Amino acid sequence: MYVDYHVHPLSHSGGDYTEVLLIPYLSEARERGLTEIGFADHDEYWEGLDRTIIASVSASSPDLKIKLGMEVSYWPGRETEIAGLARRYPFDYLIGSVHDIDNWMFDHPAYRMGYRAWEFDDLYRKYYELIKGMAHSRLFDIVGHLDLIKKYGYRPEGDLLPFAELALQAIRQSGLVVELNTAGLHKPCAAIYPSQELLSRCFELDIPVTLGSDAHTESEVGRDFVYAREILYRIGYRRIAVFSQRQRSFISL
Ligand code: ZN
Ligand code: FE
Ligand code: FE
């Protein structure tokens, strides 16, 4: 079964949830054979979220479960603000994502030249240090695009697993779920987040997974999920995590 827990109907333009905005996402989810869709807009647009709209589209979609989540940018020092955001709605889940290193939006195409300032070993060490801090904060349910730092293909030579190991231990200790995010397939790195090597290590550590497309338009909902499922299955996963009111359960993959 497929769920897509990383969908951005407000994209990067903000605004408010309306039925007209959400319904095309639901249609696409049905067409792709999803049993569940989770709207998880970027936290900067939290004011546009509307539970009453979620409730009304849910009522007219008995065949599809609809969840309300949010993708929250984590950086050290933001913990209190994030805890406040988490209380604004009865969210089903929060995705924690690292998009910034010391105020540098490393995943934004406009700031790509910032990679020139780094030794890639140091960059990866710093990035996974932030992921570790995010896991320890215990503010989140799901880790978003775990190895986003590879987005533009900049990476140290050799095995990347050692850079992530302590972060993965922290993820396990905090009981977090890792998403398999298919958006990376359409970015310069041309690979899923996280890599198959990292996913295999997650499996060894008994870290659960879920699925997300990072759709910013309706046509991207559930994109590449047949491939994603195949990878998870080959690694050994037989179930994926789902959330209701921030309580985790599992469905078969
Ligand atoms: Zn986005
Ligand atoms: Fe993100
Ligand atoms: Fe996203």
Residue 59, pLDDT above cutoff 90: yes
Confidence (pLDDT) at 107: 98
Ligand 1 centroid to residue 42 C-alpha, Å:
7
Q: Which residues surround ligand 3, an ion (CB under 5 A)?
A: 71, 214
Ligand 2 centroid to residue 37 C-alpha, Å:
17
Band of pLDDT at residue 1, cut at 50, 70 and 90: confident
Q: What is the DSSP letter of 6?
A: E
Total Cβ atoms within 10 A of residue 77:
7
Confidence (pLDDT) at 197: 98
Ligand 2 centroid to residue 77 C-alpha, Å:
19
- What's the whole-number mean pLDDT along residues 26-53? 96
- What's the whole-number mean pLDDT along residues 21-32? 97
Ligand 2 centroid to residue 147 C-alpha, Å:
11
Strand order in the sheet with 65-73: 2-7, 34-42, 65-73, 93-97, 142-143, 177-181, 209-212
**How high is the mean pLDDT of the chain?**
97
Reported for 122-128, long-range contacts at CB under 8 A and 24+ positions apart, including other chains, are: 123/149, 123/154, 123/156, 124/149, 124/155, 124/156, 124/160, 124/163, 125/163, 126/101, 127/98, 127/101, 127/163, 128/163, 128/164, 128/166, 128/167
Amino acid at residue number 85: L
Beta bridge partners of 250: 241
What is the three-state SS of 233-249? HHHCCCEEEEEECCEEE
- What's the whole-number mean pLDDT along residues 92-118? 98
Ligand 1 centroid to residue 114 C-alpha, Å:
19
Band of pLDDT at residue 95, cut at 50, 70 and 90: very high
Ligand 3 centroid to residue 146 C-alpha, Å:
12
Using one digit for the tens of pLDDT, what is the confidence trace for 185-232?
999 999 999 999 999 999 999 999 999 999 999 999 999 999 999 999
Closest ligand to C-alpha of residue 212 is: 3
Band of pLDDT at residue 81, cut at 50, 70 and 90: very high
Amino acid at residue number 217: T
Closest ligand to C-alpha of residue 14 is: 1
Ligand 1 centroid to residue 204 C-alpha, Å:
30
Are 136 and 129 spatial neighbours (Cβ–Cβ below 8 Å)?
no
Are 9 and 25 spatial neighbours (Cβ–Cβ below 8 Å)?
yes
Residue 155, pLDDT above cutoff 90: yes
Ligand 1 centroid to residue 69 C-alpha, Å:
14
Residue 66, pLDDT above cutoff 90: yes
Ligand 1 centroid to residue 247 C-alpha, Å:
25
Confidence (pLDDT) at 10: 98
The whole-model pTM stands at 0.98
Domain residue spans in the chain?
Answer: 2-252
Beta strand pairing call for 247-252 and 65-73: unpaired
Closest ligand to C-alpha of residue 145 is: 2
Q: According to the CATH classification, is domain 2-252 in 3.20.20.140?
A: yes
Band of pLDDT at residue 54, cut at 50, 70 and 90: very high
Count CA within 13 A, CB hemisphere, residue 239.
Answer: 10
Q: Which two tokens stand for residue 221?
A: 């909902």
